[in-house]
Structure 1
Amino acid sequence: MAGMLRLAMAFSVLLSLSLPSSHAQTGACGNYKFTSNKIFTSCSDLPYLNSFLHWTFEQSTGKLQMAYRHTGITTSNWVAWAINPNLNSESSAMLGAQSLVAFQQSNGTTRVYKSPISSYQTNLAEGNLNYVVSDLSAEYLNNDEMIIFATWTLPTNSTTILQVWQQGPVSSDSPSVHPTVAPNTNAKQTLNLLSGQTASSGGGGSRIRKKNIHGILNAVSWGVLMPFGAMVARYLKVFKSADPAWFYLHATCQTSAYVVGVAGWATGLKLGSDSTGIQYDTHRNIGITLFCLGTLQVFRHSSHPISTHG
C-alpha cells in the first residue's frame, strides 16, 4: 500500500513539473510603428490578453512616458492598464491599482479616463489617482486595437512597478465586470523600468504550479486510482485464483486514491484562500461532492470490511 502511494505521488509531481508554468506571447513589440510617430526606448510583450507596453523612463525626474496597446478587441470591450503602488500585493494586484481606462463609445468617440480601483466589483468609476498623470489620450485603430498614451510622474526611487492590465465588456457606454478566467486573473507582473526585466507578481508562477498540482492530484485520485480500484473489485473477485490478492489491490487503490484526493482537495482550498474575490462555483461544488462521496466510501469500508470470499 505504501509503495502504491509513493508511486502515485511521484507520478503526480513529475507531471506537474513537466507542464508549462507560463504562456509566452509571440510577436516583437519593438517592430511596431505608432501612427503619431512616437518613439519609446523600451517595450515588452505582455504574457496575457494580447497586450504590449511601450515606455520611456527618466529616473532623475520619475517621468514615465508609456503607451499600452491591446489588440484583438471590439467596440464592445474596454481595456485598462494600471500601476499598483503595493509591490507585495500577493492575493490580488487589483485592489489599490491606479488605472487608465479606454473604450469606444456608441457615438464612435473614444473615451479615456483615470480610475482608482477600490473593490472587486468595481465599475471603473472616474476619479483621481495617487500619481500625477498627464498627456492622457487614446486611439482605436483598425477595429481591433486600442492604445492608451500617458505620462506618469513616479517617485524618483521607483524603478520597479507592479503593472496590471485588463479587458472586459462594455454595456450602455459603461464598463462591466471583467471575466475571471485565467488570462484575466493572471494579467499582472512586476516590471523593472530600467532593465525591462519582468516577473509574475505575488507568486503568480507559484500559483500556476499549484493549479497544475491540484489538477493532477485530483485526476490521478478520482480519475485513475478510484475507478481502477472499483474495477478490480468488480471483475477480479469472481476468480478464485485471485483471492485474496484482488482485495489487497482494491484496498490499496482506494486508500491511495483517497489520500491523493485529500492532498488535491487541500491544494484547492489553498488556491481559493489565495484568490480573494474570485470564485468558481461549479468547480467548487463538483470538488465538494467528489470529496464527500469519497469520504463516505472510505468510512463505509472501514466500518464494514469487504469479505474476500464472494
Structure 2
Amino acid sequence: MARMLELVLSLSILMSMIFSSTAQSCKGYAFSSNKIFRACNDLPYLNSYLHWNYDSSSNKLQIAYRHTGITSSRWVSWAINPTSTGMAGSQALVAFQQTDGTMRAYTSPISSYQTSLQEGKLSFDVSDLSATLANNEIIIFATIGLSNTSTTVNQVWQDGAVSGDAIQVHATSGANVQSMGTLNLLSGESSSTGGNDRIRKRNIHGVLNAVSWGILLPIGALIARYLKVFKSADPAWFYLHISCQSIAYIVGVAGWGTGLKLGSESASIQYDAHRTIGIILFCLGTLQVFRSASKAKT
C-alpha cells in the first residue's frame, strides 16, 4: 500500500509539472496554417497569447492573437491604443463565430468605454485580417502598418458573450479590467496592469509546490525506503523522514494556498486538469503526513 501511494504521488508530481509548464506558455506552439512567428508573449489574463513578427524597416507588424478556453458563443478582441494604456482610444481587431458557423473578423475603433464594438476603419492600416476557431481557441491573424516609429505599443485584449450575431458587453471586474499593458516589439518585454504581481504570485506558487511535492516529499520517502535497512541509522532515519515530510507539507500548504488565491483573482481562467491534480496531490500529501505522524506516536 505504501509503495502504491509513493507511485501515485510520483506520477501526480510529474503530471502536475507537465500541465503547469505547458498550459501557460506560447513557446513551441505550432500553427496549423504553417505560419511562423519569431516572437511570442504569454499574456497574464484571459488565457491569451500574442505571437508576432515585426519588420522595423517597413514598420509592419504581423500578429496572431490566440485566445484559448473559448466557446462559439464568445467574442475576442486584441487592440493597440496609440494614445494611452486604457481601452478608450484603442484600435481593435474583433472576431467571433456567427450563427451560420462562419467566422467574422473586423476592425473597430473604440472611442469610449461605452462601446458595442461597431465595425469601422482604424487609425492605421490593417491587411490580411482573418480568424479561426478550433479546439476552443480563437486565433486572429492580421498585418498592421504602425503609424509611428516607436517599438513599444500599448495593447488591450478582451472577451465577452455573443447573443445571436450581436456582441454583448464584457465583464467589468476581475481579469477583464486588468487585460491591458505595454509591449516592446523588439525585446518582447511586456508589462500589464496588475500583471507583474500576478506573475510573481504564479512563480511563487510554482516554486513552493516544486520544492515541497517535487523535492522534499520524495526525499523523505527515499529516506524511509533505503536508510531504515541500516541498523546504525536507527532511529535517525525516522526523524529525518518525519522532518522532510513535515517541512514538505508546510511548504506545500503555502503553495496550495497561493494557487487558491490566484484562482480567486482570475475567475475567468480555468486550468481544470491542473486544479484536479493539485487537489489529488494535496489529499495524498495530507494522508502521507498523517500516516507518518501516527507512526511517530507509536
- When normalised by structure 2's length, the TM-score is 0.57
Identity %: 58
Aligned counterpart, 1:137: 130
Q: Quote how far apart the aligned CAs of 1:120 are.
A: 1.5
Candidates 4, 27, 31, aligned match of 1:30:
27
Whether the 8 Å contact between 1:100 and 1:113 is mirrored in structure 2 is yes
Aligned counterpart, 1:168: 160
Q: Quote how far apart the aligned CAs of 1:182 are.
A: 1.5
Aligned counterpart, 1:103: 96
Aligned counterpart, 2:211: none
Q: If you compute each CA radius of gyration, which structure gives the higher value, 1 or 2?
A: 1
Give the SS at the match of 1:30.
Answer: coil
Distance 1:206 1:164, change over 3 A: same
Aligned counterpart, 2:48: 51
CA distance in 1, matches of 2:73, 2:196: 33
CA distance in 1, matches of 2:124, 2:147: 9
CA distance in 2, matches of 1:25, 1:81: 23
Whether the 8 Å contact between 1:51 and 1:68 is mirrored in structure 2 is yes
Candidates 107, 112, 119, aligned match of 1:119:
112
Q: Quote how far apart the aligned CAs of 1:26 are.
A: 5.0
Gaps of 5+ in 1: 1-23, 209-310
Candidates 169, 178, 183, aligned match of 2:170:
178
Distance 1:141 1:207, change over 3 A: closer
- When normalised by structure 1's length, the TM-score is 0.55
Whether the 8 Å contact between 1:84 and 1:97 is mirrored in structure 2 is yes
Distance 1:134 1:206, change over 3 A: closer
Give the SS at the match of 1:73.
Answer: coil
Whether the 8 Å contact between 2:44 and 2:195 is mirrored in structure 1 is no
Candidates 72, 77, 84, aligned match of 2:81:
84
- Aligned residue runs from structure 1 range 1-310, under 5 A: 26-87=23-84, 89=85, 93-142=86-135, 144-155=136-147, 157-201=149-193, 204=194
CA distance in 1, matches of 2:147, 2:119: 23
Distance 1:205 1:134, change over 3 A: closer
Distance 1:205 1:71, change over 3 A: closer
Give the SS at the match of 1:29.
Answer: coil
Deviations 1:79-115 (A, max 9, x none): 000000014x4xxx11000000000111100000000
Q: Quote how far apart the aligned CAs of 1:200 are.
A: 2.1
CA distance in 2, matches of 1:26, 1:173: 30
Whether the 8 Å contact between 2:95 and 2:106 is mirrored in structure 1 is yes
Q: State the aligned residue count.
A: 178
Whether the 8 Å contact between 2:44 and 2:192 is mirrored in structure 1 is no
Whether the 8 Å contact between 1:61 and 1:156 is mirrored in structure 2 is no
Give the SS at the match of 1:74.
Answer: coil
CA distance in 2, matches of 1:115, 1:192: 23
Pairwise CA RMSD: 2.0
Distance 1:126 1:199, change over 3 A: same
Matching residue's letter, 1:126: E
Q: Quote how far apart the aligned CAs of 1:155 are.
A: 3.3
Q: Quote how far apart the aligned CAs of 1:172 are.
A: 2.0
Give the SS at the match of 1:183.
Answer: helix
Whether the 8 Å contact between 1:25 and 1:47 is mirrored in structure 2 is no
Distance 1:41 1:78, change over 3 A: same
Matching residue's letter, 2:145: T
Give the SS at the match of 2:27.
Answer: helix
CA distance in 2, matches of 1:80, 1:133: 14
Q: Quote how far apart the aligned CAs of 1:119 are.
A: 2.0
Matching residue's letter, 1:31: G
Q: Quote how far apart the aligned CAs of 1:157 are.
A: 1.4
Gaps of 5+ in 2: 1-20, 199-298
Deviations 1:158-215 (A, max 9, x none): 20000000000001201110001210000011000000001125xx46999xxxxxxx
CA distance in 1, matches of 2:147, 2:168: 32
